[in-house]
Amino acid sequence: MSRPISNFKFKKDLPSTRYTLYATRFPLPSTRYTLFPTRYPLHATRSSLRKQGFTLLELIIVMLIASLVLGLSTVVFTNMLPSARLDATVRKISATVRHARSLAKVNGETENVIIDLDARRFGMEGRDYEAIPSDINIKVLDPLSGETSSGKYTLTVKATGGIEGGTIVVWSKKKTVHIDIDPIVGAVVVK
């Protein structure tokens, strides 16, 4: 059954700004037509439209949980930073000794690794030195001269691969690491 367009009126719906055509001649619910496409279904009511968003309480709870997670993660990473610095320093010292050993074997010459305990630096003789961070302590346990915690200590790396020197002890407030050096084979073991 066709209806003439003159029998229709425009009505503005709330809360959206869509206009809906209503049939004035046959005001049945099935005679409702939408003029503009909207994101709301035709049967949407005010209460169902309110349920599509987040409430202020839900947003506050999510923000509270996110701030707690971020706050706790910074504490965890801050506590891990000194340990990571200690591990990096130990890796650098052991890598320097291993590098000196490989250079001594390749060149057939003696190489020296100098640990300057007063200036807080280490490196191979004649090359650049690496600094030891201020929150990390270092000492050397020599089998002949005992414990050395000041001055310069020299590890002598022979062309055969053997190393003359003691155990290097590196520590911070929470952790202690030993760098053991095998005098015959020249192996560097981190414990």
CATH number at residue 146: 3.55.40.10
In which domain, by residue range, is 17 found? 5-56
Q: How many domains does the chain have?
A: 2
The answer on 91 and 163 residing in a single domain is yes
Regarding whether 98 and 43 lie in a shared domain, the answer is no
Same domain? For 44 and 99 the reply is no
Tens digit of each residue's pLDDT (9 = 90 or more) over 33-48: 445 455 555 555 555 5
Residues of the chain with pLDDT under 50: 1-8, 10, 13-17, 21-24, 26-28, 30-31, 33-34, 36
The pTM of the full predicted model, rounded to 2 decimals, is: 0.62
Ordered DSSP codes for 36-75: S--SS-TT--HHHHHTTS--HHHHHHHHHHHHHHHHHHHH
pLDDT per position as a tens digit, 15-36: 444 555 444 454 445 445 445 4
Kindly state whether residues 87 and 178 are assigned to the same domain.
Answer: yes
